[in-house]
Copies of this chain bind each other. A is one copy, B any other.
């Protein structure tokens, strides 16, 4: 599916964030500001082979399959993960560039 590409932003303490940058950044942060999505992201990112099957992810939570599917869609729409169907199962992998951008925002440059 479509993955939104966001290029913003410099570190927070660099200077006042523009209104538009703040809106874009907030959208990205909202995608990760949820316990389930954080665990999904870390499970996918740390899974062997760099990808994880939805079936594995669903089993790890005490939540229904539609709920997990919903959270995966939020992460995917934010450009944090990407999914691919291979036969019966769907596999997700992390898009490291987007995750890295989150890091740079909160990392003060020396």
Query: Is A100 engaged at the interface, CB distance under 8 Å to the other chain?
Result: yes
For this chain, the copies found in one complex come to 2
Instruction: State in angstroms the CA–CA spacing of A33 and B15 once bound together.
Output: 18
Main secondary structure of the interface of A (DSSP, over half): helix
Q: Which residues of B contact A102 (CB under 8 A)?
A: 102, 106
A residues contacting the other copy or chain, number (CB 8 A): 36
**Which of A's residues lie within 8 Å of B, judged by CB?**
12-17, 19, 22-23, 25-26, 29-30, 32-36, 38-39, 41-43, 45-46, 94, 96, 99-100, 102-108
Known: A19-B39, A99-B106. 15 other contacts (CB 8 A): A12-B38, A12-B46, A13-B46, A14-B42, A16-B39, A16-B46, A17-B38, A17-B42, A19-B35, A22-B35, A22-B36, A26-B32, A26-B34, A100-B108, A103-B105
